[in-house]
Amino acid sequence: MAQMRTPVAAVEGLFTLDADEPRLIGGRARRRGSYFFPKELAGADPACFGDEIDEVLLSRTGRLWSFTTGEYAPPAPYVIPGDAFEPYVVAAVELAEERLVVLGQVVPGVSVDDLAVGMEMELALGVLHSDDEHDYLVWKWAPVGPQNQNGSD
């Protein structure tokens, strides 16, 4: 019988672990109303200096703003799954409510040929890598509709 692994975030504090409706965890400046992801980037905006930053759950959906294929292995915490690196698709999605653009990998099985600027996308969780005890999860983007793929590997 296979041992069950516990799902955990590959990087803590960036997203919720709700498998059905994951959400990115961002920040919102109280005075200016600006959104940030990750929340800690609020300090990089001089217009928000001294503003209170509230933790907020960001929209799960948005429109595809841009996309490309990653032809090289990114830095840690990325782990090459399997024996050799394989190119992957990266999407920039403009969140529905916040109008904030967030980058992320696209779920497995979706190629650049399946994507078009302006199409609706939704947040999904996918396994970055596993060990004997844990599946280390990251957020990924999935097309909404008939072409939607499962976000798990």
Average pLDDT over residues 122-139: 93
State the residue for tokens 């595809």.
64
pLDDT digits (tens, 9 = 90+) for 18-49: 989 999 999 998 888 889 999 887 667 777 77
Enter the pTM of the model.
0.84
**In the structure encoding, which two tokens stand for residue 23, read together?**
């959400």
User: Any residues with CB less than 8 A from the CB of 79 and at least 6 apart, and which?
Assistant: 128, 129, 136
Q: pLDDT for 68-112, tens place per residue?
A: 998 888 787 777 777 788 889 999 999 999 999 999 999 999 999
- Residue 109: CB atoms within 10 A of its CB come to 14
Residue in the structure block whose two tokens are 């960036």: 14
Predicted confidence band of residue 147 (pLDDT cuts 50, 70, 90)? low
Pick the more confident residue, 135 or 85. Answer: 135
For residues 106 and 85, the answer to whether their CB atoms sit within 8 Å is no
Domain ranges for the chain, please list them: 60-153
Q: Residue 79 has what pLDDT? A: 74
pLDDT higher than 50, residue 52: yes
